Amino acid sequence: MTGNIPWSCGHITTIGYDRDIDPNLIDIWLTPERRKLIPNLLKRRTYVSQTSCGICGKKMMEDLNQVLKPADNGFEVKIDRIFECIKKLSEKQNIYPRTRGSHAALLFDENLNVASFSEDVGRHNALDKAIGNLFRNRTLKNARLLVLSSRISYELVQKAARARIPIIISKSRPTALAVDMGKSLNMTLACAFESKNLIIFSGENRIKRE
């Protein structure tokens, strides 16, 4: 998401890499129309997104807050439905019970139907895959609620914000930077504590207790 214009598959003409140079470097070609909308991003020399746990510094955080658009209001969910969603995450995790070494991301639509699920050894990768599935299917606009097996870091808030997902629920507490970013972007961040307790850090207006 850049400005008020959402990304779509139609903005990308080609994605590929050169086997002889470095298969870890991915080249993405955008349409001329899309390039005209993001001149500032094309000129910058710092990273816009990342998958590591490191912090890029104050300048990075300021840049992100300028680029990302605050989440819209309107979508609300009952607290008991949230715990149902958390339970579904555990039910769908096939790798973690066997390895104790993977993370998962589960996305729901506005009716709280499962929209996308992914597991990976990395929590950032799990979310990237879950969002990517919807992006490829052109249904990312339907995503409303994200459940994570890991703690909420600011990078994960950033990814959810770009995907226009207003609610993030996790099984672990968020970092301070994640909460600050969530508040600045009008997002709902919460974590499940024990079986029926929910700690809400921002965006409490989206969670209905009755």
Work out whether the CA dihedral 41, 42, 44, 49 comes out positive or negative.
positive
3-state secondary structure of 6: coil
Give the pair of three-digit tokens for residue 67: 């680029």
3-state helix, strand, coil in the chain (%, to 5): 40, 25, 40
How long, in residues, is the chain? Answer: 210
Domain boundaries for CATH 3.40.140.10 within the chain: 77-208
Name residues whose C-beta falls within 8 Å of residue 28's C-beta, 6 or more positions apart in sequence: 12, 14, 15
53 is catalytic: yes
The DSSP secondary-structure symbol of 19 reads: T
Q: Tell me the fold of 77-208.
A: Cytidine Deaminase; domain 2 (3.40.140)
Give the pair of three-digit tokens for residue 35: 């390039």
Tens of pLDDT along the chain (210 residues) come to 444 456 677 788 888 877 777 767 788 888 888 888 777 777 765 555 554 444 554 555 566 655 788 999 999 999 999 999 999 998 999 888 888 889 999 999 999 999 999 999 999 999 999 999 999 999 999 999 999 999 999 999 999 999 999 999 998 899 999 999 999 999 999 999 766 789 999 999 999 987
Considering the candidates 9, 53, 56, 85, report the single residue annotated as catalytic: 53
Give the pair of three-digit tokens for residue 174: 């968020």
- Inter-residue long-range contacts of 93-102, CB under 8 Å, 24+ positions, other chains counted: 93/119, 93/149, 94/119, 95/119, 96/149, 102/126
